[in-house]
Each structure stands twice: as structure tokens, then as C-alpha cells.
A and B are shown apart, each in its own frame.
Chain A
Amino acid sequence: MKKIISVLGLMLLSLTLFAQTAKIDEKAPNFTLKDSNGKEHSLSDFAGKYVVLEWINYDCPFVKKHYDSGNMQSLQTKYTEAGVVWLAVCSSVEGKQGNFSNEEINKRSKAHNAAFTGYLVDDTGKVGKMYGAKTTPHMFIIDKEGKLVYAGGIDDKATANKDDIKTAKNYVSTALDELMSGKEVTTKVSTPYGCSVKY
């Protein structure tokens, strides 16, 4: 009996361990974070909707590439209007680049005309590590069933040059369009590029 209990315990433990790393085609691990207005959000709140996670650091040149060009905002506008939940997540820990006060975040977001659903503050880096976020930007898409269906770069031109956006293939919009027309995502994983996440 004792043995059975310990085995069960081990199984539970391994289950929780499993739950802590994101895997493609598996259920995306749940998390709860406060946004830049102090409001709490959990991934589970958005069950039944497509969710995009965008790792962000306003001071990173690669993030600037996509915000200064307006590329990121236009994606955010297009897809949030179509009912997609778009969450920017910042995992810069305290004292590192990209870790701002809520006022500063809202000021910058407004200046950029950012159109995401919310800007989540992950200043312990816990959620970033759970998802294996490596770069800013690093993009994740979760489908209506809560399954992780895309992890990788925003597009296939790994540069900090705005001019490359026009000719690049955007993985995120391709995947979202495929999902919305009921198709399987063709490119589920790509290599992300950008600055390192400032854990």
C-alpha cells in the first residue's frame, strides 16, 4: 500500500513537472500575471479563444524594428479585431533592460499605438522560462482548445533592419490565418531571433 501511494505521488509530481514546460501540440501551461494596469489575467480566462503571446522588451532593437515600422501594431489590430487575444509578455527581471514601471509601460505603449489586449509583467521570468522564451520578440500561439500550436520567430528574416519586413514571410499571421480557416498550422516551430530575454 505504501508503495502504491509513493508511486502515485511520484506520478503526480512528474505530472506537475510536465505541466511546467510548454510543448508543441500539447496543452499550453497555465499562468497568472498582472498587466500594466495591475489587473490579473490567467491563460485559462481565455479558453475558447485564440491567444497570441508576444515576448517584448521596448528597448531591444529587434522589438523596435517591428514597432517603429508599425508591423507589430497592424498585426495586433487585425487579429484582435478578429477576436484573437494578444498578450505582450515582458520577462525582464528587475534591474535589467526592459523592466519598467507600469506608468512607463503605458506611456510607451501609447506612444507606439500598441494594440495588444494587454501587457503582462513577468518580472520573475517564471512564465518566460515555462514557455522557453529566448528572444524578444518570441511568438507563441495557443488554439481554442488551449493547445500550443506555434512557437518561434515573428518572421523568417532574422535582422534588425526594418526594410526586411516587407519581403519576410510572417509566421504568426500565416499560422493565425490557417487556424481561422480551420486548417492545421504548417509551420509549428521556427527559430526565434532577437535580443535575449533579460532574465
Chain B
Amino acid sequence: MKKLLIILLTTLTLFAQNDEKLVEANLVSEINSIQPGSTFWLGINLKMKNEWHTYWKNAGDAGMATYINWDLPEGFTAGEIVWPYPKKIYMSGLANFGYEGETTLLVKLTAPQNYADETVTIKAHVEWLVCKIECLPGNANLEIALPVKNTLPEVNEAALEKFADARFNIPLNESSWKIESVKSENEVIIKVTPAEYDYELTDLYFFPSKNGIYQNAPDQKFELRNGSYYLTVLLENFRAEEPESLDGVLVTSQGWRGENSEKALNVNVEFQDQFEVNEESKITVLAAIFFAFIGGLILNLMPCVLPVLSIKILGFVNHKNQSRSASFVSGLWFTLGVLISFWILTTLLLILREGGEALGWGFQLQSPIFIFLISVFLFLFALNLFGVFEFGTSLTTLENKIDTQNGKFSNFLSGVTAAIVATPCTAPFMGTALGFALTQSALVNILIFSSLGFGMAFPYLLLSAFPKWMKIIPKPGEWMIKLKQFMGFLLAATVIWLIWVYGLQKGSDGVILLLISLLLSSIAAWVYGNWGMIYIKKTKRVTAQIISLLIIAFALYFGISNSADAKTVGANTSISSSYIDWQKYSQKKVDSLLNEGKPLFIDFTAAWCLSCQVNERVALNNQEVAEKFEELGITAFKGDWTNKDDEITRALASFGRNSVPLYILYDKESKVPIKLPEILTKSIVLDALNNLNIKGE
């Protein structure tokens, strides 16, 4: 019997010694007494022998989290362990998450309202696995006795530092940093964007809450781009489950609330399909309104609008002596015509978008019917300026009627005309700015477009308010007719461009049909101009007018039915004869290349977008860029938005845009898109590519 006892005792002491050597566990209280009905914190303080470690809640590739089994007096409850953030412990190809040195695991307990005894004894059975290379399980039965007092408890000075240390290392639950995450087949990318801090993070590490989802051992790739930090974490090949959200702790040695603050942050964010792209320059709404106004002013110089404006101004020359107030009223009517047209267009666009149509600014030009109608309209307008025919009151009311209702109406109508002829010019030149507007609220949209319209009408309005300024213009005469005719050529040039766009939408057959329609229209104009004018005898005149109307109607019907029926040809014709081997944009292809870690470039463009065309000719389509693409193994995609294309509209939206141009570059092994500026030069493109090259080495 005695012998047995000795054996038992020696084994016990052996165990105890063994434990003592590797882990010293203590139960500590933050306070010196317990108040019934209150909550209080206890800590399991673990001191590990040098080079040995115990484990975090997720132990990593191997190991086991420390476990507490409480033995509490009646009525007491204990919460979950609150874990300080761990350290990554790397061991030949595997990694564990745990604690070396000393750590304190905190637990919040609640005392019952009615507790009669003078002292309370709390017991905890703690189990752990302690490892260096080898592992040993250990355990301890710990207990603490505390007096029960119905007064506010005093702080336990002896444990103060342990609790303070532990609390500092407990992950924060909230921060002002924006955390986003995207999951693909083999990896998860975490994007961290600072809200208010100006210090830089030099490191970042993600500790997943659960094991078996992420690879623990490989380094996590850390990058800084466009003011955001990116961390790439590889997913485990054998995954017990597919995660829906990023769940874990993000640790940086700099701290999340300013430098040297708490280093760990709890994160639990759902995976997104794609990151929102940072807007490099966020323009304020006020600035946007201002720029829209300037844009409107400039619009007056565009080939589609200049004829309208100059003819309106010429109208003044004929009426220099008109009273100031009457002239101002006509200016206001003109302005109203412009504004209302823009409002209708904007509202139409907003309603269509609300209805789920994937449209952006320039949507008018994606419609072949619109291109067709505006081509015919501008062509007739040009013929009018050439003098082939004239209206009783000309299309842009050259002869401003001074005081009749008709005068007001014709002023209004010429405002509408100006706005309509302006649309094909706003899209190519101001698509980007107006695209920005579309990301804003409906009210902001209306404001921005109103400002654009107001800017467009402003020069005329100003002149109508100060008709005396017109005195600097020479006396009316032959020169006015010559100028008018010249303006006709500007319109004809605009028509050429529209025919080209139409050709990309409808192919060469479409172009022929449009040209035939234009020919018919010109015949109608010629008939009208020769036999339909006011000074021709009535019967003859009316017959001529009816004939020309019939011809126009036929031309329009012919063209419109063709626009609706003709098969849409791929706009890829615009990418032939190119140095770069462009591929048609396909979300599937892009995704699979990204998954393989291949670099790629996407050019979002449209035939009717002039800055896109210029960028392609000036910056992209040359041998140097093409060679660089080939050297870096970059696959080049062209997303052609000339026609309505939902896939491309969605792709644009995923980059926070709904207009072209947009240039996106992906580095190899990186799913972080780099946005190039809207105005490209060869050196901008080459610089961006060279930067990739350096990064890639």
C-alpha cells in the first residue's frame, strides 16, 4: 500500500515537474473582491518555457487550442475565452498560431444577484498542448478564492500589468479602416483602405479564425497601390468548407488607431465579386457643375453646334435695333429650349437605367436609329445652309421675328435644335465627365446636365442681354451668306463621322442604305427648294411640298426599318490593322487568365468616343507598346461599347464607371486592377508597363 502511494506520488510530481518546466499556469483576477450581480474578468496566465509555445483559438497546421473547463459556484457564468492575437510560428513547411513567452487569456464572468457566502472559490481545469518541435499535452487545476463585498471592487494591483498587456493585444472590434475582400478559386485578396490616418503600414498579416481554409505556412503577399493595401492569402488545397466571408484577425505592427496603437483587428466581411476601384480624383459635385458649365461653353465651338450658334448670332445682326428687353426674352426662350431638351434626355436615361437597362452616357449613339435620324437631320440642315432650300422661317430662325408668339416658339425650337445637334458631340468629348454624373443621385444628374445646357446657351443669352455688343460685327451683307455656307461644311463633316459610326454598327451594307436615304433626302430638299417655296403658285407649291414630304417619309421609313432589321456586325472591324493582337472582351477569359496569374490589359472603347480613338492611335497602336505587351506576356482585350453590350456595361460598372474610355491593367500574380488615365500618351502607357516589369521581377 505504502509502495503504491509512493509510486503515485512520484508520478504526480513527475507530471507536475514536467508541466512546471514547460508551462506555468495561473488564474488571476482583475479585481480584489466580487460584487453580487456584477461582471468581472479573470485571466489564465500562461508562462511558456523559452522556445516553447501554446496555441491560439486556431492552432494552425497542427497543435491544439488551450481549453478551459470551469467549475463555478451556483449562479456564476463564464463567457468564451477572449484571445490576444497570436504569433505565426513557422516550422519547416508548416505554420502554427500561438504564444511564446507569456500570455493571458481573458474570460468575462458574471456573479449572481444573490450570493450569500463571504468568499467565492472559482475553479478552472485548463488543458493545453505545448510544443517546441515535439509536443506535450499539459493541464492544470487552478483555483482562486475572492471575498464577496457589496461595494465597488478595488483593482488588483498585482495583476494590473498582465490585464493591460492582454487587453492591448486583444483585437479591436471596430475601426475606421475600410476592409474589403475578394475570393477566387485559389486565393483571397484583402484590401485595406485608410480613412483618416496618414501613416503608412509596412506589414500586414491575416490570421484566419478557423483552420483548414487557408494555407498557413506561405508568406502573404503585401502590396500598396493607389492608397490601399492589398494582402493575398492562399486558400488550402484540401478545404473542408468554402468560406462565405473573410473571418479572422488582421495584424499590423503599426496599429489600427494611430501609430503604436492596438495592432490587431477582428474582421468578418463578406466576399465581394470585385473591388470597387478608388477614384484617383474625386471631383466634388460643385466642381462637376462648374466643369459642366465650361463644357457647355466649349460645346458651342464643336462642329455640330457652331453652325447653330453662329447663325443665331447672325440673326442678331439683322435686328441690331431690336429693343433690349425683347431681345433678352428671345435669348431666354432659346435657353429654355436647350435646357428642356437636356432634361428630357437625362430623365429618359435615368428612367431606362432605373428600369434595369445597362446604359451609360452616349447611349443615344449606341442606337443605330438615333444615328440614322440625326445623320439625316444634320444633312438636311447642311443643305439648308448651302441654300438648297429655305423654310418660311428657317430652321434656326435666321429671321428672328420680333414680337410674335411664333418668335418665342421659334426661339425655343432653335434651342431644342441646338441641344439635339449637340448630343453627338457631347458623348465623344464629355462622355467621361457625364459618366461621372451618372454615378450620382438623380438630382445631381439634373443639376449637372442643366449646367451643361446653360453653359451652351450662355453666349447667346449674354448677347441677347447686351445687343449693343453686336455693333462690333460688320454690317449685314454678302459675307453672312458665305459664312452660312461654310458652316454647312462643318455639318457635312459631322455627318461623315456619323456614317462611320453607323458603318461599325451596321456594316458596309448599312452605310449604303444610309447614303441612299441621304440622297433621297437631298432630292426632297431640292424639290422643296425649287418648287415648294412661298413665292411659287399655290397648287404647284403644295404638290411640290407633298412630294418632298413623301420622299422624306420614304427615306426615313426605308432607313429606320433597315436600322432595326439589319444584323449588327461586330464592331471589331475597328481593331483590324493593329500592332497589338487585340482579343474581344470576354469576362470568362479575363477571369480565367486572372486565376492563372497572367497579366492583362483591357481597353474599353467605342467608335463614337473620339478620345478613345485618339488614345488608340496615339498611345496604344504602335510597335513599342505592342512589343512591350508581347515581352511581358500581356493579353490585350478590347471591350467595344459602340453597340449596346450588357457584358461590357457590367464590366465598366465593376470598375465604378459607366462610360468609356477606361484602361485597366493587371500585373501578373495580382488581381488588383491598375487604372490608367483617360488621356493617354505613349509614355504614360510605357511607364505603366515598365513599372509592372520591375514589380514582376
> Residues of A with Cβ closer than 8 Å to B?
21-24, 59-62, 93, 96-97, 125, 129, 132, 134-135, 151-152, 158-161, 189-199
Contacts and interface: CB of A to CB of B under 8 A. Distances in A.
Nearest to A128: B93
Contacts of A151: 238
Nearest to B137: A160
What is the size category of the interface that chain B forms with chain A?
Answer: 20 to 34
Given A191-B211, A196-B91, A197-B62, 13 more contacts: A60-B134, A125-B93, A152-B238, A159-B64, A160-B129, A160-B137, A191-B240, A195-B134, A196-B61, A196-B131, A198-B133, A199-B91, A199-B94
Contact of B64 (A21, A23, A134, A158): A158
Contacts of A125: 93
A192 B236 CA distance: 12
B133 A96 contact: yes
Contacts of A134: 61-62, 94
A23 B185 CA distance: 14
Contacts of A196: 61-63, 91, 94, 96, 131, 135
B239 interface: yes
Nearest to B94: A196
Nearest to A96: B133
A157 to B, nearest CB: 11
Contacts of A190: 212, 240
Contacts of A62: 135
A61 B131 CA distance: 11
B133 A97 contact: yes
Nearest to A160: B137
B64 A199 contact: no
A189 B238 contact: yes
Contacts of A193: 59, 62, 64
Given A193-B64, A195-B62, A61 B238 contact: no
A156 to B, nearest CB: 10
Contacts of B127: 159, 161
Interface string B126-143: 010101011111000000
A24 B238 contact: yes
A196 B134 CA distance: 8
Given A132-B237, A135-B62, A152-B238, A195 B131 contact: yes
B92 interface: yes
Nearest to B129: A160
A189 B62 contact: no
Interface in B219-259: 237-240
A151 B237 CA distance: 10
Contacts of A60: 134-135
B100 to A, nearest CB: 15
A61 B137 contact: yes
A60 B131 CA distance: 10
Contacts of B94: 134, 196-197, 199
A197 to B, nearest CB: 7
A134 to B, nearest CB: 4
Nearest to A148: B238
B57 to A, nearest CB: 12
Contacts of A195: 62-63, 131, 134-135
6 contacts: A24-B238, A59-B134, A97-B133, A97-B134, A159-B127, A189-B240
A24 B238 CA distance: 7
Nearest to B67: A159
A129 B217 CA distance: 13
A133 to B, nearest CB: 10
B136 A189 contact: no
Contacts of B212: 189-192
Nearest to A95: B133
A189 B239 contact: yes
Nearest to A60: B135
A197 B134 CA distance: 10
Interface in B21-69: 59, 61-64, 67
Given A134-B62, A193-B64, A199 B92 contact: yes
Interface in B188-226: 210-212
A21 B91 CA distance: 20
A159 B135 CA distance: 13
Contacts of B237: 21-23, 132
Nearest to A151: B238
Contacts of B133: 96-97, 198
A87 B67 CA distance: 33
B520 to A, nearest CB: 55
Contacts of B239: 189
Interface in B100-140: 127, 129, 131, 133-137
Nearest to B135: A195
A134 B239 CA distance: 13
B69 to A, nearest CB: 11
Contacts of A129: 93
Q: Pick the most buried of B59, B94, B127, B210: most chain A CB atoms within 10 A of its CB.
A: B94
B214 to A, nearest CB: 11
Contacts of B135: 60-62, 195-196
B91 A152 contact: no
A159 B127 CA distance: 10
Given A194-B62, A195-B62, A132 B136 contact: no
A70 to B, nearest CB: 19
A125 B495 CA distance: 74
Contacts of A21: 237
Nearest to B131: A195
Contacts of B131: 195-196
A62 B55 CA distance: 15
B470 to A, nearest CB: 72
A22 B210 CA distance: 22
B153 to A, nearest CB: 35
Contacts of B240: 152, 189-191
A65 B93 CA distance: 25
Contacts of A159: 64, 67, 127
Nearest to B215: A132
Nearest to A187: B240
A196 B132 CA distance: 10
Given A24-B238, A129-B93, A191-B212, A61 B61 contact: no
